[in-house]
Amino acid sequence: MRVLIVDDEKLARDRLRELLSDIGGYAVVGEAMNGAEAVEKTADLNPDVLLMDIRMPGMDGLEAAMHLMGMDTPPSVIFTTAYDQHALDAFEVNAVDYLLKPIRKDRLANALSKARKLTAKQLQEISQSQKEPPTRTHISVHLRGNIRLVPVPEIVYFLADSKYVVVRTPTEEHLIEDSLINLEREFGDRFLRIHRNALVSTTYIKGIEKSPAGTWQVSLKDVDKKLDVSRRHTASVRRWARNRPATA
């Protein structure tokens, strides 16, 4: 069985390597220090199972698992964690394998022997049970079987297009299968609804102006494109523009 070890602490990674060597029958194909690196290395190395810490800087283990589930053949995930017992209740209820640090060899061997695929429903329930449900730091885009992670701060706008959503950065466009309603619910503190089909990052809004036709449009930084503001959202967009922070 091919194993990818994911932990931001080198001592923890070394400890897992030693335990796997003692158990035998497992090949460590790589290591990662955060969730984003774990997603990228999973696509490259095709491990059977990830031993993944939950709390890591940048992208944590829960978000990484969410991105991995979008793969055609996702690996099994065993979470490693220093959470207290109360916080682990959600993992036990949802029958997800986890290892409580410090990790014991017999516990690791048992978890590996019954490693299973994590389902979307399980991960959603775990996330919702946390005191502060995580907000994604990246959007995952699937390109010919691979995963491309797009950092949320680099996204200029989300634009609904038929059953897809266009994710626009200053240099690229990608398509994802999601809904603007879900995206607004998750990222509403960073994006402004300007139309039923458009959410725009407030960081990239240069200003609002009237078009020759007399309708309002949003002009953008780093993108040579203007987006229409619908009548329904004109008042809220103009109100945001009047009250926007000086550094926005």
Per-residue pLDDT tens digits for 51-88: 999 889 999 888 898 898 888 888 888 989 887 665 66
Handedness of CA 148, 150, 155, 157 (dihedral sign): positive
Query: According to the 3-state scheme, what is the secondary structure of 45-58?
Result: HCCCEEEEECCCCC
One domain, residues 107 and 162: no
Q: The CATH number of the domain where 118 resides is what?
A: 3.40.50.2300
One domain, residues 203 and 160: yes
Q: What is the domain count for the chain?
A: 2
C-beta atoms surrounding 121 within 10 Å = 9
One domain, residues 115 and 25: yes
pLDDT digits (tens, 9 = 90+) for 150-208: 999 999 999 998 889 999 999 999 999 999 999 999 998 999 999 999 999 999 999 99
pLDDT digits (tens, 9 = 90+) for 17-55: 999 999 999 999 999 999 999 999 999 999 999 999 988
Residues 175, 216: Cα–Cα separation, whole Å: 26
* Domain span holding position 35: 2-129
167 located within any domain: yes
C-beta atoms surrounding 135 within 10 Å = 12
Omega cis (within 30) before 102: yes
| pLDDT averaged over every residue in the chain | 88
Handedness of CA 135, 138, 140, 146 (dihedral sign): negative
